[in-house]
């Protein structure tokens, strides 16, 4: 099963639904397409960023969930901007 993190900060009620799915279906593995904007949105506190990252890592360790990047184009853009900053 996959889930897209479509906002910078998923509500705790959504996180609990994921946990409920795991409790009801012990063999379920979820691929979380995590958005990098969780770490770039100034509205998400450092404490919340840490909580979400630790929560995801706990699901990976406990249920072997996978963590993917929701927007690889975000990284591609950063790479392009970095390369443009290099002297020719």
Pick the closest to residue 8 from 64, 66, 74, 63 (CA basis): 74
pTM of the entire structure? 0.76
How many domains are contained in the chain? 1
Residue 76: how many other CB atoms lie within 10 Å: 10
> Percentage of the chain with pLDDT > 70?
78
pLDDT in tens, 19-36: 999 999 989 999 998 887
Helix (H, G, I), strand (E, B) or coil at 78: helix
Q: Containing domain of residue 27, as a range? A: 2-85
Long-range pairs for 44-51: beta carbons < 8 A, 24 or more residues apart? 44/8, 44/9, 48/9
pLDDT in tens, 72-88: 566 666 676 667 666 64
């Amino acid at each position: 099963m996959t889930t897209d993190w479509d906002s910078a900060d998923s509500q705790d009620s959504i996180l609990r639904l994921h946990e409920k799915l795991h409790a009801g279906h012990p063999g379920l593995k979820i691929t979380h397409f995590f958005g990098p904007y969780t770490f770039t949105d100034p509205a998400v506190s450092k404490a919340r960023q840490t909580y979400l990252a630790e929560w995801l890592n706990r699901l990976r360790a406990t249920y072997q969930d996978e963590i993917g990047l929701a927007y690889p184009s975000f990284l591609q853009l950063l790479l392009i901007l970095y390369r443009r900053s290099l002297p020719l």
